Amino acid sequence: MTEWSLIPQSVAAVATSAAAGAAWRSARASQRTSQDAQRALAVGIAPMLTIEALRWGEPERDQLVVENRSEWDALSVEVEVVLKSGQQFREHAERLRPLILRDGNPTGERVLVDLGEADTRFPTAHDNLASVAVRFWDERRIRRYELAETYPGDPPLTRRLEHIEGP
């Protein structure tokens, strides 16, 4: 075989290599576009959860209520509550659907955490809280969020919401 006979094979190898490189660049661009679209969707469907501490009943009991005030479901909702005494409570809901207004009143699902008999050393249920953490996924499981509140006393509340998993 002469050197001239190797030229077509060399040209084919170079062309194959160039095509592979172009395919890789195209795939990377497509992957970035897909990730950007996924991030935008996650922002659009992020659930907006609220936390409220209540004191009610006879004898009085304290309760923490988590509600979904958005249009999108929250999945795998985990609630952790720590009282100023150090006592801890946990609750879980697989799905938390949004509240719906009926006749001007919100109705629907809530995650309820029973904190036990009211501690009368504190004037309200809210005053008895040390911290609350609520972790949840958006309904497509694109992003997982954590809503955390701490109640050190002064300032009375520190609130933080951040995504902890996903793009």
- Mean pLDDT, to the nearest integer, of 62-87? 96
| Residues ≥6 apart with Cβ < 8 Å to 166 | 42, 141, 142, 143, 144
Percentage of the chain beyond pLDDT 90 is 54
Query: For the chain, what is the mean pLDDT?
Result: 85
Q: Which domain, by its residues, includes 37?
A: 3-44
Same domain, 35 and 59: no
Same domain, 97 and 112: yes
Buried b (16+ CB within 10 A) or exposed e, 35-67: eeeeeeebeebbbebebebebeeeeeebbbebb
For residue 166, give Cα distances in angstroms to 46, 78, 97, 145, 146. 12, 17, 21, 9, 12
Whole-structure pTM value: 0.78
Same domain, 125 and 53: yes
Segment 22-55, tens digit of pLDDT: 556 665 667 787 888 888 888 899 999 999 999 9
Same domain, 26 and 64: no
Per-residue confidence band for 14, with pLDDT thresholds at 50, 70 and 90 = low
pLDDT at 62 over 80: yes
